[in-house]
Amino acid sequence: MKTYKKIYKILQKANGFVSGQDLAEQLEVSRTAIWKSMKTLESKGLVIESIKNRGYRLALGDLLLPEEISQDTGLKVYFNETSASTQLDAKEGIELGHASPALYLAPNQKTARGRFARPFFSPESGGIYMSLHLQPNLPHDQTPAYTLMVASSIIKAISRLTGIDCQIKWVNDIYLGHKKLAGILTEAISSIETGLITDVIIGVGLNFLVPEFPRDLRDKATSLFTSQTPITRNQLISEIWNIFLKTPERDLIKVYKEKSLVLDKRVTFVENKLSYAGLATDITDSGQLVVQLDDGQEKCLNSGEISLSSWES
């Protein structure tokens, strides 16, 4: 393990300041190496407080530790510090023959894209950006509702570790209050020969510790934390995937429905250039949204975007 990672773990566990001399003796390195490691940690978004004759203290932020996540989840974790997109990293991993399940992780993304290839805000530090590669090798109609399952896993993980209650806006957005906290992008690769879904890549972008957003996003996006956090990103990432991997699909679908922002709410949507409005009455186990239209008809939406007519409970 690199020196800066060892220093991070020491500072993370310390109750107060740790002197540079103590760190140097503990790690058997020079004071210059300690200073360089502090600069490395700061370059990765951590705020290190330094006071003469007292030493160093971790004031804000954390460090992503793929080896720790791998140990906690049993997943092979590929960490790319200069990732354009973890979805692209996963696709490259498939081409290279990486075994699944595998998790592709990055501290930020240079060309992050969401649904419909839309760009989304990815700060230099404080976010969670990851993609899980699976190989279901199943017919489309037998493939699990991965987007719903991951959404529920995120909700449950946040609640378990922090007590914070989030909700899900169909089909792939996690909300805290009236603002978006996280998004999910699921992509599938199928075989023309067999008709089976051979590979699935589930991407997650989550604002963990983002104190400030661009002006045009301040009314739309939010962060799980805006100051020092009671947990690390490593803990949350591990909890999300442990829940996803170990919880039966039916239980996660149940959580999805319980935490839905849209069920029993009036929604509007556009289909084939026509606008519709009605009451969202159900979410099927495969992820379809059932809407009772104002004219009495019932529509089942497989994908697309909806707008909530009201945020009232």
CA atoms within 13 A on the CB side of 141: 0
Paired with 174 in beta bridges are 168, 182
How many angstroms separate the first and last alpha carbons of the chain? 50
The annotation status of 109 as a binding-site residue, yes or no, is yes
Kindly list the strands in the beta sheet with 102-106, ordered across the sheet, starting from the edge strand earlier in the chain.
Answer: 76-79, 102-106, 127-134, 197-207, 179-190, 173-176, 167-169
Q: Please check if 114 is assigned to a binding site.
A: yes
36 is in an annotated binding site: no
Has 115 been labeled as part of a binding site? yes
Is there a binding annotation on residue 113? yes
- Print the SS3 string covering the chain: CCHHHHHHHHHHHCCCCECHHHHHHHHCCCHHHHHHHHHHHHHCCCEEEEECCCEEEEEECCCCCHHHHHHHHCCEEEECCCCCCHHHHHHHHHHHCCCCCEEEEECCCCCCECHHHCECCCCCCCEEEEEEEECCCECHHHCCCHHHHHHHHHHHHHHHHHCCCCEEECCCEEEECCEEEEEEEEEEEECCCCCCEEEEEEEEEEECECCCCCHHHCCCECCCECCCCCCCHHHHHHHHHHHHHHCCHHHHHHHHHHCECCCCCEEEEEECCEEEEEEEEEECCCCCEEEEECCCCEEEECCCCEEECCCCC
As annotated, the binding site includes 109, 113-115, 180
As annotated, the binding site for biotin includes 109, 113-115, 180
